[in-house]
């Protein structure tokens, strides 16, 4: 009971520490995370119900967000699409940030030759624009769901490595790290107990920004027809499928676009309210320029 109260108190203090825009951003982000997890149970129709309504209908009591080009309920399609838009991006962001951070720790704490090797590989990957690299990988290896995750990880782990390596390089020269070396602690112990904990907050901020970039990357691939393939559909796929309805003013193309925009804006508002976010953002903008 005490642990529960303590957790709730910390959550309340964290909420109060955020700015108004940060609270709005966190609320939007949590809303879409809940929709990704529970949207399938909340949807009024089956995701593949054909002909449930007319083609490209507008808002109505029966279809709250209208219907798509096959007469399927758009509310259901958007809720199911959240699973792929958020699930794939979240998985790829976790893997990219984890891989980049661990390799940066390995490079910073290891010998000179491995540090140079990882640095040169990272520089080579950063030379090519991320979207061009993603298009090449998808064009060569197809666009299955696992391949999309691998594509996003390959595209974005070098940036996570660069930021993590910069922090690890600074931390390894700190007095408490040198004292741990003098005590005879192993490099693994120092990396995990002395260096990594002091990198977590900036890397979590970086993780949030990478999540946004990956959402936009995967949505862009799906819009081009190279992302999530039928019978699955993410929000980018929904925009691609219903693009012809744009001239008719149908909500079928606007709703998934609004979903993408609201998620990215919400995450950005939340991240902007966190401390130490400006340095990370500037480095990411340099990376994506």
One digit per residue, pLDDT tens: the chain, 289 residues? 677 777 778 777 777 788 888 889 999 999 999 999 988 788 888 777 666 677 878 788 888 888 888 888 888 889 999 999 999 999 999 999 999 999 998 888 886 788 888 888 888 888 888 788 888 888 888 888 899 999 999 999 998 999 999 888 888 888 888 887 778 777 788 888 888 888 888 888 888 889 999 999 999 888 888 888 887 888 999 998 888 877 776 788 889 999 999 999 999 888 888 765 444 444 544 554 5
% of the chain beyond a pLDDT of 70: 92
Q: Does 212 fall in a domain?
A: yes
| DSSP SS3 for 67 | strand
The answer to whether position 217 is within a domain reads yes
Helix (H, G, I), strand (E, B) or coil at 73: strand
CB 29 within 8 A of CB 263: yes
4 lies in some domain: no
Of the candidates 73, 98, 224, 78, the residue with the CA atom closest to the CA atom of residue 149? 98
Whether residue 53 lies inside any domain: the answer is yes
* CATH code of the domain containing 245: 1.10.3720.10
Residue 109 lies in a domain: yes
Domain-embedded: residue 12: no
What is the C-alpha to C-alpha distance for residues 161 and 175, in angstroms, rounded to an integer? 24
Tally of structural domains, the chain? 1
What is the domain range of residue 106? 20-288
pLDDT digits (tens, 9 = 90+) for 37-49: 988 788 888 777 6
Note whether residue 2 is domain-resident.
no
CA distance 35 to 85: 11
What is the per-residue pLDDT for 90?
A: 93
């Amino acid at each position: 009971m005490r642990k529960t109260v303590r957790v709730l108190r910390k959550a309340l203090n964290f909420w109060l520490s955020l700015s108004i825009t940060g609270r709005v951003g966190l609320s939007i982000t949590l809303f879409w995370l809940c929709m990704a997890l529970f949207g399938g149970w909340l949807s009024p129709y089956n995701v593949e119900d054909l002909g449930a309504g007319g083609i490209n209908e507008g808002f109505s009591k029966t279809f709250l967000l209208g219907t798509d080009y096959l007469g399927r309920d758009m509310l259901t399609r958007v809720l199911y699409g959240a699973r792929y838009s958020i699930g794939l991006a979240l998985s790829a962001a976790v893997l990219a940030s984890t891989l980049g951070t661990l390799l940066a720790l390995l490079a910073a704490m290891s010998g000179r030759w491995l540090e140079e090797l990882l640095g040169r590989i990272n520089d080579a990957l950063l030379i090519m624009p991320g979207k061009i690299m993603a298009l090449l990988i998808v064009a060569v290896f197809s666009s299955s769901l696992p391949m999309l995750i691998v594509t996003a990880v390959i595209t974005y782990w070098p940036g996570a490595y660069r930021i993590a390596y910069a922090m690890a390089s600074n931390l390894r020269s700190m007095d408490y790290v040198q004292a741990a070396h003098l005590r005879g602690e192993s490099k693994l112990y120092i990396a995990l107990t002395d260096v990594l904990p002091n990198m977590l907050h900036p890397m979590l901020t970086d993780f949030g920004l990478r999540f946004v970039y990956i959402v936009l990357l995967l949505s862009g691939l799906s819009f081009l027809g190279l992302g999530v393939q039928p019978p699955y559909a993410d929000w980018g796929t929904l925009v691609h499928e219903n693009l012809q309805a744009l001239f008719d003013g149908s909500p079928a193309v606007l709703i998934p676009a609004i979903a993408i925009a609201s998620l990215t804006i919400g995450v950005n508002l939340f991240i902007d309210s966190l401390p130490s976010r400006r340095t990370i953002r500037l480095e990411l903008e340099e990376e994506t320029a």
